[in-house]
Amino acid sequence: MKGLIQPHGGTLVNCLVDDVRAGALKAQAQGMPRINLTAKQSCDLELIANGGYSPLKGFMGEADFQSVCKNMRLSTGEPWSIPILLSVNKADAPSVGSHVALYAPNGVLQGVMTVKEQFAHDKKLEVPSVFRTEDPAHPGAAQVLAEGDTCLSGPVEVLTLCVDPQGPEAFLEQRLTPAQTRAAFEKHGWKTVVAFQTRNPIHRAHEYVIKCAQEITDGLLIHPLVGETKKGDIRADVRMQAIDALVKKYFNPATTMVTVLPAAMRYAGPREAIHHAVMRKNYGCSHFIVGRDHAGVGNYYGTYDAQKIFDEIDLVALGIAPLKFEHTGYSKAYGGMVSGKTFPKIEGDIINLSGTAVRELLFKGERPPVEFSRPEVADVLIAAAKSGKLFVE
């Protein structure tokens, strides 16, 4: 009988060392050059280690970097859309052959890398290739432009996955590795699993799309991103409270799982949609929801650009099926959730609120219309707004 989808590249990577090796590396790290990782780099290191970035076993070398930027493929041929780089200032770059200690932003020793390659960080290639813009105001582009001018690559050994187990975004019970989600899917008897990516609370339109997808698969993985996000996004702990409240009342526990993805947002729109799909394939999902303006920001991408990009790649090689959904909302004329495919468009019919309007309601302690947001979700957001802890600062 056919089992779960195979990891990207065929093998699930695991770079997490055992306790004995971790103790030895801690002692050795005292004499190694030190690299202080950014939040994005720390997230990337966790996903390399836990297999979320399979088949990567370390930060990318130049051949992979060039191939990903130009061809959306690793140098070995697998589809891949976003470079995973360890960039540093040239003056701080250790020599090839060195062993370097990698410290998370909070000062925890996260891993050790053997430097196999050193190459120039070609930002003039990366930024327009990945973000489809060179505007330094784009949050992902700005982040890359601020990074170091030299990249280091090589295999890593990782001591810990969650570097801050007491932190507000640890979510230890829901911080499952790809190996753990795969084991859970097998325990449930799921062969096909659809993943839903979000960096926002789930409103009624999201819920409608999720449940449509849920009808054609064995199981659902709601997989919110809890790594680094930009200022002004809703905090991860608030989002998780809202998701948990929604799932508890409105989803079937026999066919639904909620775990977290410790990835950093790039806000790269179309390319990031592929990036998100590859990670969910590694977590064991066979299908991936791609909605309106997936991973977008501002007006940098067209409404459905993140769906169109899947027409430009080899879906067989990608190995996970994208499920493309149009904009959905509550139709007053129909009396329920619809999309342009299921009900004729009528001027002023869909209940659709802007982000600004929703925020104004929340800060006044008022729930958005029930056709837009479940009251349980709204109450979590209202409480966070009143406490001044709704947004990333």
Catalytic residues: 199-200
- 376: buried, middle or exposed (CB in 10 Å: 19+, 13-18, 0-12)? middle
> CA triplet 171, 191, 307: central angle to 5 degrees?
75
Both tokens of 318, joined, read 């990608």
The answer to whether 289 and 213 have CB atoms below 8 angstroms apart is yes
What is the amino acid identity at position 59?
F
CB atoms within 10 A of CB 381: 24
Q: In what order do the strands lie in the sheet with 287-290?
A: 256-258, 219-224, 193-198, 287-290, 321-324
Helix then strand then coil, in percent of the chain rounded to 5, is 35, 20, 45
Q: Which of these, 83, 250, 276, 99, lies nearest to 198 by C-alpha position? A: 276
Burial degree of 322 (CB within 10 A; 0-12, 13-18, 19+): buried
Query: Could you give the angle at the alpha carbon of 238 between the alpha carbons of 358 and 196, nearest 5°?
Result: 85
**Residues ≥6 apart with Cβ < 8 Å to 205:** 327, 328, 329, 330, 337
Compute how many other C-beta atoms are within 10 angstroms of the C-beta atom of residue 114: 16
